[in-house]
A and B are shown apart, each in its own frame.
Chain A
């Protein structure tokens, strides 16, 4: 199936999950991601899947928790306030070492906010998953095609690391329509993983899925095991892309929809005489620290562009470790910068260098 089809980001996300065998969806409506549950409710029954509209986000994530403990390919999707409500459940999933896929189509916030594009859940996604010593592996696609591809890939990654994976996107990526190439839909894996619950079979010990460890040293061992998986992910699942000049004066760092805007801005700045390059993290946790550190030694300045008042910029600064100045360009509250404004800022930075 190499033909291209126009799809919205929401539809591509939903189809990307079904196409790799996801057969269980639990969610609760919230704009701007409602097209995902709508698509799932229509298409999961076609493939023998289960769609449940839960009574709340808290219920939805706990249904995901239950399905995940049987080894099922399961997902939920929501938007910022809904993801806040899911934090406790996600923490329990991490503590119970369970895979699952959660998509956050971020909206303007804080509070109920609005349905405009935002990237203000960066901390929530990369630090969070509620309380305790765990995190979500987090990926940030930046096109309809990548929403399809990365949502699909997330199920395998979640199973490999026995940890929830979060896909972080926004209202523009959710609603925009672009051509998408899809593969044939695959079946749900027949064989459950060897840790899954599902009725005691002859000869195997009972499986218990739980995050309660009253024995302190045992909890420490569990947390060390989880931490080792993150270290492993940092060697296997660091993803980024680069665009623009080979010997840049200015490096731009942006992810998701901001990176789309910067792709155009960087090209125009280079054409305007300021050699500029874009490094775009695709994996946000694990973070592509090394590539940013390498460029930091070779450029005059770094510009971070994000739709929040400064969250992603902290990871960039941790990678740069003071090697060069890092400036921040923000829009917030559902507003978005235009490529022309980013180009102007790059040129201005080069001139004041």
Chain B
């Protein structure tokens, strides 16, 4: 066990030695500080510690749905864009070199000469990279949780689940980075190929979701033209849905996060702030709301379970590559 801890700890030390780690820490602190500049009271929103006040019924503590609205904002903007995209990309950039640098001459020779198996070495390094992301996520979620609690008076305990979800999301992609890193011994190539893999694994779920949207919203129009629903579309939806079962489902993570924080539907949020919007716009939003409420929710266990299985296959492949080659 000493060996495993030693390797994990070394991965962490290696990561914090990189500039990107500190860039992410600074970004986290800046975002938390920016969030802290906003607070809510019974009447609405206070910005810059009361320097600017916006009256809003929806975004006030008097709104009983306020907590779920905050959850929606957190999921849509923090989980989806900031952590799910920027955070994961930064984490991948930071950790892309873990295996290529491990496999450089002079490093790998020493490690392989130690009394441990190659698979143990590989998995320890892999877990080390995940630990690094876990700590980054913990810092981010911890800080923003406190800001939301203290400044916004909203204590969303399910928000802590983001830490786990982010590590899982990162692990889906890092499995590819590890595989390509082991195969090519190049951080840059591994990173670029991971980007390609991300697109590939995103495609089946995205395609199936789009086709499901057509199915669930019969009145949907594209460029003003109503979309005809055909059996062919249904067939392709099943094909993509089946295909998505075999790849890590990165897009499901945001929805699972929404479930865990009890987020309101995004169209509900938009509707609540569009009192003065034109009638047509409100009708469109209500249609969107109806559609959103009809879409079948993601089952976290099935989604994460099948994704982790796919990830395990990729990791095993990478481990096999690492174990069989000469250095």
A and B form one complex: no
